[in-house]
Amino acid sequence: MELVNRYVYAVTKRLPVKQRSDIAAELNGLIEDMLLERTGGSEPSKKQVEEVLLELGEPSELADKYRSTKSYLIGPALFGHYVDLLKLLLSIVLPVIAVIKLIGFLGNPPAGQIMTGIIDVIGGVVSVGIHMTFWLTLAFVFMDRYGLRREDLSGGAAWTPASLQPVPKQRLIPLADTIVYVLFYLFLIGFFGLARRFLGAWVDNGATDGEKTLIPFFNQEVLSDLFPYLVILCVLGIALEAVKWAAGRWTKALVAGNIVMNVLTFGFILFLVTRTGLINPAFIDETVSRGWRTTEQFETIRIAGAIGILLVMAYYCVKDMIVSIRGLGSRLSP
Q: At what angle do helices 220-247 and 252-273 cross, to 10 degrees?
A: 160
Q: What is the pLDDT along the chain (334 residues), one digit of tens a residue?
A: 778 888 888 888 777 777 788 888 888 888 888 888 887 777 888 888 888 888 888 887 787 777 665 556 776 666 767 777 787 777 777 777 776 666 666 555 555 555 666 677 778 788 888 888 888 888 878 776 665 555 555 555 566 777 676 665 665 677 777 888 888 888 788 777 777 766 777 776 655 555 667 778 888 888 888 888 888 888 888 888 888 877 777 888 888 999 999 999 999 888 888 877 788 888 888 778 877 777 787 778 878 888 888 999 999 899 989 988 887 776 554 4
Closest CA to 279 of 227, 228, 219: 219
Residue 158: its pLDDT value, please?
Answer: 64
Closest CA to 79 of 129, 153, 165, 9: 153
> 202 — phi, psi (to 5°)?
-90, 120
CB 213 within 8 A of CB 288: no
**Read out DSSP for 131-173?**
HHHHHHHHHHHHHHHTT--GGGGTTTPPP-GGGPPPPPPPPSS
Indicate the helix (H) or strand (E) that contains 216.
strand 212-216
* Cα separations in angstroms, 329 against 168, 250, 252: 19, 9, 10
CB 274 within 8 A of CB 266: no
Residue spans per domain, the chain: 2-69, 72-163, 169-334
